[in-house]
Structure 1
């Protein structure tokens, strides 16, 4: 029953942005729906294969782009320049460990003093750009590397 409810949630999310439900999309969203999951496309592909899902690497790449363009995923670069994906939809920022490469989510609600609106407005007035979103990226040393 829980699996059916989860599938309905993914169908609803896809439908809301005008995409049809497919098993590759559901599996990608399910994997990325967890806090602190930030895989590269290759890491995601390997993880899905380990779970026994028959999915091709090109299918992973194609669906990541479609889901990103639809606003269901966030794409970003890690400190080595690798493209990573994040499906955790609660407003959050990232902590990057400069020694081991760990990436951890930091919920925006845990940083009440950080208000991105003045930053967005200042950048817009100085550059003429329309800023859709501002996120904070913090780099440091994680507890395991200290």
Structure 2
């Protein structure tokens, strides 16, 4: 399982941030395939594998910016958490500050993890390492423990 690529869906409206995210993932040692969409409706189409995304894989991990045009990140997160077929996909909400995390939580929707988006381009590699650490924690939690005697 460790050698299989991680299918990551990045939901980010800023083209500049999307470029920095994808380049940082390419530069990191994390085995992944990053798919990007720029709004909430595209994100829902992607996870439901419909319309232009019918041939795309189900994401293993979603990085979600809550401030999206059209269908908000809050609505996307709510749908992900309320649909049985999607609720097991881990979601990392990208926030610009601690206040951003509080705003998301104030909508009575909770993600698996919150990460502050980097401000400087040099900080994106550290951010990618945070995502990798989160993913490895998820994999370890879902791997059945060996029987102890």
Q: TM-score, normalised by structure 2?
A: 0.30
Larger radius of gyration between Structure 1 and Structure 2: 1
TM-score of the pair, normalised by structure 1: 0.30
Which protein has greater RCO, CA pairs closer than 8 Å, 6+ apart? 2
